[in-house]
């Protein structure tokens, strides 16, 4: 992971069976990560570990199953970030 400490942008797509808790814990330690794409991962609710990523300012979440209510909830949880659904 130390080799990725300067990573600013990451895309993780079409991996619905990934161990997301572990993934978000690792990503939370990447201090320069500011853009994260989590496309087509089968999410219909925001994964709880996503809240660990306070430094990310842009989330791309296209192709998941969030309904309008969940999208609004996520926007409130990340008021300083841009979210693309």
Enclosing H/E stretch for 36: strand 35-37
At 39-78, the pLDDT tens digits run 999 999 999 999 999 999 999 999 999 999 999 999 999 9
Residue 60 has what pLDDT?
98
Name, in order, each residue with C-beta under 8 angstroms of 1's C-beta and a sequence gap of 6 or more: 26, 29, 30
Whether the Cβ atoms of residue 31 and residue 7 lie closer than 8 Å to each other: no
5 pLDDT more than 90: no
Residue 2 has what pLDDT?
65
Whether the Cβ atoms of residue 23 and residue 12 lie closer than 8 Å to each other: yes
Domain that holds residue 80: 2-84
The pLDDT confidence band at residue 3, using thresholds 50, 70 and 90, is confident
Q: How many domains does one find in the chain? A: 1
Can you tell me the mean pLDDT for 16-36? 96
Residue 1 has what pLDDT?
61
């Amino acid at each position: 992971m130390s080799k990725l400490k300067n990573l600013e942008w990451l895309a993780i797509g079409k991996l619905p069976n990934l161990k997301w808790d572990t993934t978000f814990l690792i990503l939370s330690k990447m201090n320069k990560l500011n853009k994260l794409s989590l496309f087509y991962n089968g999410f219909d609710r925001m994964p709880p570990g996503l809240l660990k990523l306070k430094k990310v300012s842009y989330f791309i979440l296209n192709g998941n199953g969030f309904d309008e209510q969940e999208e609004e909830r996520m926007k409130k949880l990340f008021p300083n970030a841009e979210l693309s659904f």
